[in-house]
Structure 1
Amino acid sequence: MSIQDVAKVAGVSKSTVSRIINGQPGPSAQTVRTVLRVMDQIGYKPRPLSQRPGVRKAGRERISTGTIGLLMLDEGHLRYPQMFAEMLCGVSSAIADQGMNLLFAEVKKHDRVPPLVKRMQVDGLLLAGSEVDDHVITGLQPLPKVWLTSHSSLDNDQVLLGNEAVGRIAAEYFLNQGKSRLVAVKPPSRFSVYAHRVHAFRYIAEMAGAKVTVLGEDYDPVLHEHLPERDRMPAFYRMIARQFKSLSPQPEGMFVPSDHFTAELYPIFIEEEINPMTDVMVVSCDHQTNFLTGLKPAPVTIDLGIRVIGRRAVEQLLWRINHPGEARNVQLSVTPMIVEPE
């Protein structure tokens, strides 16, 4: 069987079949499904990349399809679109440097796994998501994988945000500014990342002799359960503002573990006659300009190096593909950096 046979049965040109096999843009989704179905029916399997025309890059001896899959396993990319866009830039540029193709898909259920992945027509996968359907993971098991987000499974390599480092960097920044009366805001969230950042902040600051109060630490969501959902977080922030005002002496620095929360907290603090960056220095996190634009004065924030994480994840995945016999998993983190307002 050959490409010509696939093209004839599918009713398309040979060049169309070639583009689909190589993961190149152009063919419609319906055409891709038709060609893949025909390939399966007649038993045609493309030649490995190593046997196709063209020059292969060093260190890619085990690359066979020339395609890497990036699968989003929850809605995190919708909640934080700027972070996702930066990560995608890092991933896509690293893959382009290798002369490879990128397959992107949102896969929240096992029946949404792309046909190319089911058919093992990708060399490996980059995975992102904290709330993951275990059935999806089971279906991906044969392929080399690298996680871009924290996950309960330790069965694969990970290239992660330096969440503990975020807390340390924030604490050290305040201490270097001579601030020793500090607060941290612990938002009510099902994502443990914020709690990790706050915990590290408190530990490092207190070890250095600073006094740290965690606002919202004992918050019970039942307290505002009677409110419409859209009013619950504003009510939480007002409670935080009043807790802040009750502290004596007044705190000198406040750590908020995400720019998303900082953007919501600012106007409520101002309503409560607390002026961020004037009455209290604010260090936020994520360096997400879509949240920080309009905040006056702008807070200090922490850049997580999302693009670097994307590029490093591709490098780690290629290493894993070329070292299938290495039993030990690798976990890497990228060091965040302070970004002061201009």
Structure 2
Amino acid sequence: MVTIKDVAKAAGVSPSTVSRVVKNHPGISSDTKRKIRKIMEQMGYTPHVAARNLVTKRSYTIGLVVKSAVHEAVLNPFFTEVNFGVSEACRTKGFSTIMTAAEDDDSLFLEVKNLINSKRVDGFILLYSKENDPVTKYLTSMAFPFVVIGKDVMNSGDAIHVDNDNVQAAKEMTDLLIDEGYEDIVMVVDNEVFAVSQDRIAGFEQAMASNGLSSKCKVVQCDKDESSIERMLVDLFDHTPPQALLTLDGVLNARIISRLYQMQIRIPEDVATATFSESPLTKFAAPPQTVVDIYPKELGKEASNEVIMLIKDDNRLKRNITVPTRIIERQSTKKEERG
């Protein structure tokens, strides 16, 4: 079995230097770390994780907290992309990840509390933001390191938040639809609890108002199940059919365009569709969907870097980080495609 001494001899350094590289010690230069890690990989050396954790009194694990059913968290491309970003950033710093997901506050709170009490994690990344959240309150009261991917809804400055400007993103998307000639625009949401939902609704309403279309501004809510989506769409198209549908995210958008196909409502000839969060669901849809790319992988990377630095320095400045967005315009909103 390859030991630290073997790696040190091959690298021409002391065993203590190799040990500090394993622990990602800031006193070792990047060049030295790269050199030694390459030799470790070539020699097949694997650090003894349990021994390292015993010495440092850390688990070197970050917990991802998702306010959703487990199957939804697994299937939602947003969570998958965020997870990729988190895992990639954590791996380069010697940390692993573990995810916990639940729909109700009590279950999620209990999961988080158990992870802390069992010393299985050093910090958390919350993939949601909502007012009066018991998990956020508990972590704050415990002074336990955590970062929120979402808006600082309480304006408390008690945590680091990584987010997009969802109000501005929704305004820009709505302006694009209006510039394309759509005026009867309906925004469809499947929840209004989370800050991201409220901000996107606010941006939509602001854009409609600034373009003199307040009277045509309409937000409708439906549940995630197929029957609820069908009832909502039948009600919309049986009365005054909208010219465009702006959905809260790519998963809801995919469910809606599938139902529109079954109702023989064409996109974009009969109604334009647009949404938030770029993924294979939007890129490879029929037709490809106009979307606001929110860069979920970058959200995950930024959150990971911040929580790891917070673990190492609990006096780190709490700040809000904004990841930019961009609109990708595709066939689903092209006015010239309409008959």
TM-score by length of 2: 0.66
Q: Residues 211-226 of structure 1 correspond to what in structure 2 (within 5 A)?
A: 213-217=216-220
Q: Which position in structure 1 is the counterpart of 2:279? A: 288
How large is the RMSD of aligned CA atoms in angstroms? 3.8
| Residue among 81, 85, 89 paired with 1:86 | 81
* Partner residue in 2 for 1:318: 308
Distance 1:51 1:138 in 2: 39
Shift in Å, 1:90? 0.2
C-alpha deviation, 1:106, in angstroms = 4.1
Counterpart of 2:293 in structure 1 is 303
2:20 is paired with a residue whose SS is coil
Decide whether the 8 Å contact of 1:241 with 1:269 is kept in 2.
no
- Unpaired stretches in structure 2, ≥5 consecutive residues: 4-15, 29-55, 332-339
Instruction: Tell me which of 182, 191, 199 is aligned to 1:196.
Output: 199
Counterpart residue identity of residue 123, structure 2: G
For 1:186, what is the secondary structure of its paired residue?
strand
Structure 1 residues 53 and 267, CA gap change in structure 2 (3 angstroms)? closer
| d(CA) in 2 for partners of 1:211, 1:179 | 16
Q: Is the CA contact 2:66–2:99 (under 8 Å) kept in the aligned structure 1? A: no
- 2:229 pairs with one of 233, 250, 256: 233
CA distance in structure 2 between the aligned counterparts of 1:98 and 1:318, rounded to whole angstroms:
8
Shift of 1:188: 4.9
Question: Which one of the candidate residues 20, 26, 35 is aligned to 1:54?
Answer: 20
* Distance in 2 of aligned mates of 1:58 and 1:283: 46
C-alpha displacement at 1:170, in angstroms?
Answer: 0.5
Q: Percent identity?
A: 14
1:339 counterpart = 2:332: no
The equivalent residue for 2:43 is none
Contact 2:65-2:124 within 8 A present in 1 as well: no
CA contact (8 A) 1:186 1:194 kept: no
Considering fraction of residues, name the structure with more helix. 2
How far did 1:67 drift?
1.2
Matched to 1:202, the amino acid is: E
Shift of residue 213, structure 1, vs aligned partner = 2.3
- What does residue 146 of structure 1 align with? 147
Query: Where does structure 1 lack aligned partners over 5 or more consecutive residues?
Result: 1-14, 16-49
Q: Compute the displacement of 1:172 (Å).
A: 3.4
Equivalent AA in structure 1 for residue 149 of structure 2: L
TM-aligned CA distance change 1:51 to 1:100, over 3 Å: farther
Contact kept, 8 Å, 2:208 with 2:217, in 1: the verdict is no
- Read off the aligned partner of 1:124 and give its amino acid letter: G
In the TM superposition, 1:64-213 aligns within 5 A as 65=58, 67-75=60-68, 78-80=71-73, 81-106=76-101, 108-113=107-112, 117-118=116-117, 120=119, 122-129=121-128, 134=134, 138=138, 141-150=142-151, 154=156, 155-175=158-178, 177-179=179-181, 181-192=183-194, 193-209=196-212, 213=216
What is the SS of the residue equivalent to 1:338? strand
Distance 2:191 2:121 in 1: 35
What's the offset of the Cα at 1:292?
6.5
Q: Structure 1 counterpart of 2:295, which letter?
A: G
- CA displacement, residues 63-105 of structure 1 (integer Å, 9 cap, x when unaligned): 8636142232532563253211111110011111223333444
Paired residue secondary structure (1:65): coil
Match of 2:269 among 278, 286, 303: 278
Offset of residue 189 of structure 1? 2.5
* Whole-angstrom distance in 1 between the partners of 2:87 and 2:327: 26
Tell me the residue number matched to 1:330: 319
Distance 1:315-1:76 versus aligned 2 partners, 3 A rule: farther
Aligned length: 276
CA contact under 8 A between 2:282 and 2:289: conserved in structure 1? no
Q: 1:212 to 1:281 in 2, by over 3 A?
A: farther
Displacement of 1:289 in angstroms is 2.4
In 2, are the aligned partners of 1:276 and 1:282 still within 8 Å (CA)? yes
Distance 1:184 1:194 in 2: 15
**Deviation at residue 311 of structure 1 after TM alignment:** 0.2
Contact 1:67 1:103 in 2 (8 A): no
